[in-house]
Amino acid sequence: MYFLKFTATLILILCLSGIRNCEKPEVVNIGAVLTYDSIIGTVAKAAIEAAVADVNADKNILVGTRLNLIMENSDCNAFLGSIGALKVLERDVVTIIGPQSSTVARIVSQISSGLQIPLVSFAATDPTLSSLQYPFFIRMTQSDSYQMAAMADLINYYSWRQVIAIYVDDDYGRNGISFLDDELAKKKSNLYKFALPVRATRSYVMDVLRKSQVIGPRVYVVHANPDSGLEIFSVARELHMITDGYVWLATDWLCTVVGSSNSFINESLSYLQGAVGFCQHVAQSSQTSAFLSKWKGLRERGVVTSKLNAYGFYAYDTVWATAYAIENFLSESGNVTFSSNDKLVDMKGKMRLDKLKTFDDGNLLLQKLLLLDVTGLIGRIQFDADHNLKSGIYQIINIDGPMMQSVGFWTNNSDMSVYLPKSVYGNEKRSLRGIQLSQNITWPGGHTKTPRGWVAATKERPLRIVVPYRVSFEKFVTALNDNHTVRGYCIDVFEAAIRSIPYDVPHQFIPFGDGRSNPNYSELVDMVADGVVDAAVGDIAIVTDRSKLVDFTQPYISTGLVIVVPVESAKSSAWVFLRPFSACMWGVIGAFFFLIGIVIWVLEHRVNSDFRGTPKRQCMTIFLFSFSTLFQSQQEDTLSTLGRFVMMVWLFLLMVITSSYTASLTSFLTVQQLSSPINGIDSLIANNEPIGYQDGSFARSYMINSLNIHPKRLVPLDSSEAYAKVLQLGPKNGGVSAIVEELPYVELFLENKSGFGIVGQPFTRRGWGFAFPRESPLALDLSSAVLNLSENGELQRIHKKWFCQTSCSSHTATSLDPNQLQFSSFWGLFLVCGVAAILALLLFLLRAIRQFIRFNKQHRNPVEVSSTGCSHAVYRFFDFIDKKEEAIKNMFKQQNDPITASNL
């Protein structure tokens, strides 16, 4: 009994000391600022009222405390919305739900932050409503940055590289599209933006759509509120833009409109056919089924007339999330108190702001909201560090006939999938590319084939193509003086490529140049890069600096810089047959003829009667035999083994020498020879003489920047006649020593001019292509077309048409200076032949000496040996080897026979 009295006394003391847990309020006010007559606001208002009623009826939450809802209509107007928010705040609300407009939310967030009252919005998706600027702003939905990442992935999936965005020019539309632009830039896609006023008239929308048609892309992204979005689609149908070839993508407003329509896709919404959009996915559960049943009852009682859309679920859960936070707040704080704001009190005489009060524990309630982890109709409710609802699921929908079909899902963790992700927070990676989502989508016009998404040109606005108005080398491209008709090899290639792509590209050529000198080709490329024209066609070299500005097609002709110099003909020389070999080479060949003749004579003299006779006859044999082997017409046969061995090596040497001589002589007789000291790129750089180049060509910048040739050495030339003139004059007479030019021009120049030739090899590997703006789809299609023309031989036929009327001999960039064959190229072969001859000669001498010694032993006379000297022995040795081999063998045979020896 004493303990109970003590406990009661303690509780009384604590209560009197101001502990708020004993002062739990019976009513807590919450506010809401909505646009009542909007598609979202109508549903949200009913959902919020139903949620407040359910919270107050639930015995498991806010026990002893009831929520009191105070609502005001913002009429989707920033001024009226702020007035409505002030009216709500006068009623001591602890939190504000809404507003649904991002523009209104931005203003109300400023007020709520000043009064420390959390603002929870289920529809303000402007990504720039950040927690840093508006610390009391909480987004009970996904930011548009999240949705725009999904939109960019969808666009990238279908490889659309150019997109047009139609949006309302307010915070919601402008900032959302800005984030889409950033996402598409990461995927190398371009976005063209067309803004509409907040309440644009139908005629204004029509003007904007007409302007968008002339650009070329046919992929449209509509980011607007439901009412203005429908107006955009309606006008598009009137302009015949909801047809084949167009793509219409919409953000989640489309799903809201379709989901709220009583007749679903009725006749008045038929212009939405083929559109693709995103829906905030709400999973099926017992909770959602119960709420749908309740909503059905509300419609039957006439409380609401619209069908339930996703924003209704989000608005309902917003109330419950607020209730959970208030319950957690009351369990810790115990009471709700407000304090007067001194600054507002001072303004009492001017404005009635003294009724606005600061929520004392607003920060605590804010933290309770941010720490929530509960499950609602929309699924798990958690907030990230930026006060945004954590990752949700977007459902990709397609309007097909009288129904809205689901074609996939997207989250930032699992990318796209035709299957519903198991978890929003997982790391599943299932790409739509492998599932062929496009087969499940019906596009505008009723087709299932994915639209190309752009048109290159129309009859009303043909493709504007700039071409160089050349005054030299007109066969490549030029304009006729009378009517400026464009013609040439490059034009024929382009027309053939255009005809081979599977769609029409109306186009017109615009000559660029004054007709007196060749234009600067870098200026043509700049015109394409700056959007002055749509493309550039002609003999435009693909170089690094130009590739940074525009996109080139696949090269339709290979080219490179070559050096052209004067040449002289060697055919008229009477001694041209001596030019294949150098003087040293001729000398070595002649010496070997005599060497081989002497060696063969020595080896064959003792065994072959053809190599015996009078001294005069033997000298003639030595001379004639070796030279006759060149034609294999020698009359003498080799009988000795060593002689045949030497002849085998010698004939192999002659075969190589004669083959090389024939090839070199053919080259000298068919190819002109240089009359210039420049024979390649190295001598061009080292030479300090003037160098010519075609005016307007990239050759000048290449020689200056890459070859470090001084600009004063470079002489611009404007015609093939100028080429011939300055080359014939030479550097000493005011001309040039060489011309650096691209190979196709040189081939055409050499076809019409004689006395000039190419030295060395091309020292750049480039090509000519057609220039288009960056990321132009037409550049990709024409690249494929050029490859097809190359494979089917059409490029070769066009080339033959323009450059092979008289002859089709190819002017290839081979060296026109076939150098003489030097001894250094054959010394190894001569060494082998010389070693073989000397070795055979040594073996012969060794064998002969051995026979001579044996002969001397058998016929030794001591008196004679003592009386003769060394010279006599040498004489006897030569006399011995001059005898025939057969006679020597007979002598040895007789000496070995006793009977014959005794007779001797």
Compute the residue count for the chain.
904
Residues 319 and 174 in one domain: no
302-306, 496-500, 600-604, 775-779: least confident range? 600-604
Of 368-377, 485-494, 538-547, 621-630, the poorest mean pLDDT is in 621-630
Question: How much is the pLDDT for 20?
Answer: 44
CA–CA separation, 498 and 94 (whole Å):
68
Q: Answer with the one of 737, 764, 791 that is the final residue of a domain.
A: 764
179-208: average pLDDT: 92
Task: Please give the DSSP secondary-structure letter assigned to residue 609.
Answer: G
> Of all helices (H) and strands (E), which one includes residue 779?
helix 777-791
CB 162 within 8 A of CB 775: yes
Look at residue 261 and tell me if it is in a domain.
yes
Give the residue, 282 or 13, on which the prediction is more confident: 282
Q: How far apart are the C-alpha atoms of 224 and 253, rounded to whole Å?
A: 7
Mean local confidence (pLDDT), 395-407: 85
Rounded to whole angstroms, the Cα distance separating 716 from 726 reads: 11
Q: Three-class SS of residue 32?
A: strand
CA-nearest of 216, 280, 215, 272 to 249 is 272
Alpha-helix residue ranges (DSSP H) falling in 556-640: 583-604, 615-628
* pLDDT, tens digit (0-9, with 9 covering 90-100), for 88-109: 988 889 999 988 888 888 888 9
Average pLDDT of span 436-464: 81
Q: Do both 615 and 587 map to the same domain? A: yes
CATH number at residue 490: 3.40.190.10
Helix (H) or strand (E) holding 749: helix 743-752
Query: How far is Cα 381 from Cα 370, in angstroms, rounded to an integer?
Result: 10
- Which tens digit of pLDDT belongs to each residue from 576-595? 777 777 788 888 888 887 88
Q: Of 357, 382, 407, which residue sits at a domain end?
A: 382
Q: What is the pLDDT of residue 551?
A: 93
**What pLDDT, on a 0 to 100 scale, did the predictor assign at position 509?**
93
Residue 4: predicted pLDDT: 40
Residues 276 and 312 in one domain: no
pLDDT classification of 873: cutoffs 50, 70, 90: low
Q: Residue 461: what pLDDT?
A: 83
Question: How many other C-beta atoms are found inside a 10 Å radius of the C-beta of residue 286?
Answer: 7
Q: Band of the pLDDT at 696, cuts 50, 70, 90?
A: confident
The stretch 235-248 carries a mean pLDDT of 91
Q: Which of 535, 530, 529, 531 is nearest to 468 (CA)?
A: 535
Domain-embedded: residue 739: yes
Q: How confident is the model at residue 672 (pLDDT cuts 50, 70, 90)?
A: low
Higher pLDDT, 440 or 173: 173
What torsion do the CA atoms of 507, 512, 518, 524 make, to the nearest 10 degrees? -80
CA dist., res. 107 & res. 406, Å (int): 37
Identify whether the C-beta of residue 881 lies closer than 8 Å to the C-beta of residue 852. yes
E strand map for 483-560: 486-487, 507-512, 535-536, 551-552, 557-559
* Predicted pLDDT at 206: 94
| 265 pLDDT above the threshold of 80 | no
Instruction: Report the pLDDT value the prediction gives residue 702, as an integer from 0 to 100.
Output: 87
pLDDT score of 210: 92
- Using CA atoms, how far residue 87 sits from 52, 84, 390, 397, in Å, is 20, 5, 31, 40
Residue 678 domain boundaries: 674-764
For the chain, give the mean pLDDT: 81
Is residue 720 a part of any domain in this protein?
Answer: yes
Identify the weakest region by mean pLDDT among 41-45, 164-168, 281-285, 649-653. Answer: 649-653
- 458 within some domain: no
Give me 467's structure tokens.
């071409």
Q: Which of 852, 691, 777 is nearest to 503 (CA)?
A: 777
Show the tokens assigned to 445.
């016009």
The pLDDT score that the predictor gives to residue 27 is 92
Q: Quick: pLDDT tens for 245-260.
A: 899 999 999 988 888 7
According to DSSP, residue 47 is labeled: H
pLDDT over threshold 50, residue 350: no
Residue 654 pLDDT: 81
Coil, helix or strand at residue 540:
coil
β pairing state of 673-674 and 561-568: antiparallel
Q: Is the peptide bond before 615 cis (omega within 30 degrees of 0)?
A: no
User: Count of CB atoms within 10 A of residue 137's CB?
Assistant: 25
Mean pLDDT of 607-612: 65
What pLDDT band is residue 811 in, cutting at 50, 70 and 90? very low
pLDDT for position 203: 94
Nearest to 131 by CA among 314, 367, 318: 367
Contact call for residues 595 and 627 (beta carbons, < 8 A): no
181 or 686, which is more confident: 181
Q: Averaged over 131-153, what is the pLDDT?
A: 90
In this predicted structure, the answer to whether residue 6 has a pLDDT above a threshold of 60 is no
User: Within a domain: residue 897?
Assistant: no
| 3-state SS, residue 532 | coil
Categorize the per-residue pLDDT at 812 as very low, low, confident or very high, splitting at 50, 70 and 90.
Answer: very low
Left, alpha or beta for 596 (phi > 0: left; psi -120 to 50: alpha)?
Answer: alpha
| Count of domains forming the chain | 5
Helix-, strand-, coil-residue percentages of the chain, each rounded to 5: 45, 15, 35
Distance CA 643, CA 760 (A): 46
Same domain for 194 and 259?
Answer: yes
CA distance 283 to 754: 83
Q: Identify which of 69-78, 596-605, 747-756 has the greatest average pLDDT.
A: 69-78
Write down the pLDDT at residue 179.
94
With 60 as the cut, is the pLDDT of residue 466 above it? yes
Closest by Cα among 322, 332, 284, 419 to 97: 322
Indicate if the pLDDT at residue 406 is higher than 80.
yes
Same domain, 583 and 532: no
**Could you tell me if residue 793 is inside a domain?**
yes
**Given pLDDT bands bounded at 50, 70 and 90, which one contains residue 204?**
very high
Instruction: Say yes or no: 226 and 152 in one domain.
Output: yes
Q: Do 272 and 149 share a structural domain? A: yes
pLDDT for 227 beyond 80 = no
What CATH number should be reported for the domain holding residue 89? Answer: 3.40.50.2300
Question: DSSP readout, 700-731?
Answer: HHHHHHTS---GGGEEEE-SHHHHHHHHHH-G
Residues 103 and 212 placed together within one structural domain of the fold: no
**Nearest alpha-carbon partner for 46 in 230, 260, 266:** 260
CB 126 within 8 A of CB 146: no
Q: Is 674 helix (H, G, I), strand (E, B) or coil?
A: strand
State whether 188 and 274 are in the same domain.
Answer: yes
Q: pLDDT-based confidence at 459, cuts 50/70/90?
A: confident
Per-residue pLDDT, averaged over 744-773, amounts to: 84
Cα distance between residue 675 and residue 822, in whole Å: 21
Kindly report which listed range (261-265, 514-518, 634-638) carries the lowest average pLDDT score.
261-265
831 lies in some domain: no
Cα(698)–Cα(369) distance, rounded to whole angstroms? Answer: 66
Place 776 in a pLDDT band, splitting at 50, 70 and 90: confident
Q: What is the pLDDT of residue 23?
A: 66
Could you tell me if 700 and 728 lie in one domain? yes
Which pLDDT belongs to residue 840? 80
Structure tokens at 78: 């920033």
Least confident of 381-395, 485-499, 672-686, 779-793: 672-686
User: Does residue 591 share a domain with residue 470?
Assistant: no
| Mean pLDDT on 853-860 | 66
Phi, psi of 603 (to 5 degrees): -70, -30
pLDDT top residue among 583 and 42: 42
Which residue carries 């989250």 as its tokens? 411
Question: Which of 169-183, 255-269, 287-301, 775-789 is predicted least confidently?
Answer: 255-269
**Which residue has better confidence, 127 or 862?**
127
Q: How far is CA 539 from CA 209, 519, 720, 779, 798, in A?
A: 37, 12, 16, 16, 15
Same domain, 333 and 397: no
Domain contains 876: no
Distance CA 142, CA 391 (A): 7
d(CA 292, CA 259): 13
Has residue 3 got a pLDDT over 50? Answer: no
Secondary structure of residue 427 in the 3-state scheme: coil
Counts of helices then strands in the chain (DSSP H, E): 30, 32
| Alpha-carbon torsion (59, 63, 64, 68), positive or negative | negative
Dihedral sign, CA of 569, 572, 573, 579?
positive
Which residue(s) pair with 194 in the sheet?
166
Higher pLDDT, 898 or 414: 414
pLDDT of residue 202: 92
Calpha distance 699→95 (Å, rounded) = 72
